[in-house]
Structure 1
């Protein structure tokens, strides 16, 4: 079986890059269809239109309604086709970016340019969109034929975003190495149907090492709304290293458990990366990882403010039937949990979730 590594065509990161957006998209098309939600449109809209006006290029702006459902994708796709745009741009958080990638695909695989305004997930670099139901629960993955043509990250915007979002991105990135390691040990295929390369595994490991070395410093910088080298490195880890690592190495239990948790209404106030962080702890319990490794992960989570208990995710009353339902959904047909290098059952996942929760309480001291 072939080894495959995938990546966006170009990754650009630095302060002020949003002001050069028309320059970045002009290499791909003459008319940009820009998607952003109400908040991000108000935050960045003037800079975006100024960039296109300066370049003398055409741009159509469309508001994203807030949830990436099939209906919303179809609405945006129709608007894009009406505009006759030839490049699609998403500006905002993970759901907006995933919507832009999906719209580009449904419009005939137009080039997609993504501009994250937060470093909260590893969605920007991937050839993947996560589709949700109207109630906010996970529905399916939409696998795309190509990665974004360009990823543009303006770190000045990231530095002024809510700190919790940067931390949530660290939670998403936290899973990258451990899921990659599990998939490699099981000789499972990655997201694009090949085996992971040495380069991809090295990036996944670098992602984890960067979190441990720079995470606390980056959070402090974000709290002060300033750009430091630590912040730049964490933004790269959350966005690029994690994105390439998960897609080119594979997902495993952490994200599957996230998908199960998303069905609990109590967790809807938690961000994707926060649920993935707890899923990572549950995965380590599931595989009976060494205690020092589990302690290292819990210590990191506590230091930066990531969840280590179900209560941290909003589940203050743990009911057996609910957690068993989470375990069953985590083990649904086609889930990535079956990339673990051993047999996985809902019963094992149920036990891992409850044990992870108890360990979290133990190390929190309550």
Structure 2
């Protein structure tokens, strides 16, 4: 069985690195299309502009429409072609990265990813998650290569809302457990092969880092303090989880997340928050020892990740709603089938309801 490990060509992390963006990537193209949100431009647009002043690379900013949808990708491909852009830079969060990666693929240009939040493991991957214009999951779009550069300014991330980094912890929390399931089932990973020992070691290091540094990092971030614990969590959320999920595989947690996108009341929750609950559901499906389940639930409580359906925004829980989630999660094209045993909508429904009950039990509700 072929083993594969893929990763970005270059990963750069540290405080103040966004001020050096032009220095790092200016020689990679003559004109860069920079995809950013309006709020992001107000916060850091001038920093980015100033970083390119000493380079020969022109820049063109465009505001992201909010969803990594086929319509948005097509709009930006047209914009890049009309303006002769030969590099794409995505600055912001996960959906901006995924859109930038897809656009760069279609215009055959390098792509640079600059997270301003550490809320997902999207920055390093050769993958775009495609949604409808309304935010409902549609498909995974696998790309032929990873980003050329991932640049993480940790001071910018430390200044972002704490909830976003905690959501990134939730996304990263799934990495080891999904990797473990895929190794057991010898599933084909997002990289197109089976897991290497190196990727599995990074997935495990990701989990160990979260357990050791997660609470410390959250408390430090609440004080707007950029500490070694924060730096380690940013690396775990971004690089370790990114390589770990892509080169070891996705399984139950992310499929459960995708299932929850069919419920409109969950759309206000961040990706990693839904993945964290999906991780608990996966552990219930696996019937892991009580000690392991308790460790994860209590960790989620401590850092502020959702452990009940109510915390995911579902005020009125009905069998119809949760079965719709279970059926969507069990779609033949999704990753729930990478689990090392058969999973059905019925068993998934039961695991979701049990996970919610365990969450309420530990909260004393």
Measured in 2, the distance between the counterparts of 1:9 and 1:350 equals 40
Q: Shift of the alpha carbon at 1:144?
A: 0.5
Aligned to 2:254: 255
Q: Is the 8 A contact 1:159 1:221 kept in 2?
A: no
**Residue 300 of structure 2 is aligned to residue 301 of structure 1:** yes
| Alpha-carbon distance, 1:211 to partner | 0.4
Which moves more between the two structures, 171-180 or 187-196? 187-196
* Alpha-carbon distance between aligned partners in 1 of 2:26 and 2:219, rounded to the nearest angstrom: 36
Q: Is the counterpart of residue 40 in structure 1 residue 33 in structure 2? A: no
Where in structure 2 are the equivalents of 1:1-366 lying within 5 Å?
1-108=1-108, 110-366=109-365
C-alpha displacement of 1:337: 0.3
Alpha-carbon deviation of 1:134? 1.8
- The CA deviation at 1:29 is 1.7
CA distance in 1, matches of 2:120, 2:170: 8
- Do 1:25 and 1:87's aligned partners in 2 also have CA atoms closer than 8 Å? no
Match of 1:281, SS? helix
Gaps of 5+ in 1: none
Instruction: Kindly state the Cα deviation for residue 192 of structure 1 after the two structures are TM-superposed.
Output: 1.8
Higher mean alpha-carbon deviation, 20-29 vs 188-197, is at: 20-29
Q: Whole-Å Cα distance in 2 between the matches of residues 96 and 278 of structure 1?
A: 24
1:106-137 per-position Cα deviation (integer Å, ceiling 9, x unaligned): 112x1110000000000000000111112211
Structure 1: 4+ residue segments shifted above 2 A? 54-57
1:67, distance to aligned residue in structure 2 (A): 1.4
Using the TM superposition, give the Cα deviation of residue 54 of structure 1 relative to its aligned residue in structure 2, in angstroms.
2.6
After superposition, give the CA deviation of every residue in 1:134-164 in whole Å (9 maximum; x if it has no partner): 2211111111000000000000100000000
Q: Secondary structure of 2:220's match?
A: helix
The answer as to whether partners of 2:119 and 2:237 remain within 8 angstroms in 1 is: yes
SS of the residue corresponding to residue 61 of structure 1 reads: strand
The CA deviation at 1:42 is 1.1
Q: Does the 8 Å CA contact 2:26/2:52 hold for their aligned counterparts?
A: no
Q: 1:212-240 deviations in whole A, cap 9, x for unaligned?
A: 00001111111111210000000000000
Per the normalisation by structure 1, the TM-score is 0.99
Name the CA distance, whole Å, in 1 between partners of 2:84 and 2:62.
13
Aligned counterparts of 1:295 and 1:64: Cα–Cα separation in 2: 40
- Offset at 1:61? 1.1
Instruction: Quote how far apart the aligned CAs of 1:298 are.
Output: 0.4
Residues of 2 paired with 1:232 and 1:244: CA distance?
A: 17
In structure 2, the residue corresponding to 1:217 is in which secondary structure? Answer: helix
When structure 1 is superposed on structure 2, of 276-285 and 74-83 the one drifting more is 74-83
User: What RMSD in Å do the two structures reach over aligned CA positions?
Assistant: 0.8
What is the TM-score with the length of structure 2 in the denominator?
0.99
Matched residue of 1:78: which SS? helix
In the alignment, the residues of structure 2 paired with residue 17 and residue 81 of structure 1 have an alpha-carbon distance, to the nearest angstrom, of 29
**Separation in structure 2 between the aligned mates of residue 54 and residue 28 of structure 1, nearest angstrom:** 14
Deviation at 1:17, TM superposition (A): 0.5
Structure 1 Cα separation of the partners of residues 172 and 47 of structure 2? 30
Taking the aligned partners of 2:230 and 2:184, their CA distance within structure 1 comes to 32
Asked whether the equivalents of residues 71 and 133 of structure 2 are also in contact (C-alpha less than 8 Å), the reply is no
Shifted more, 76-85 versus 200-209: the winner is: 76-85
Contact kept in structure 1, 2:266 and 2:312, CA below 8 Å:
yes
Quote the Cα distance in structure 1 between the aligned partners of 2:69 and 2:41.
Answer: 20
Q: 2:26, 2:56 within 8 Å by CA — same for their partners in 1?
A: no
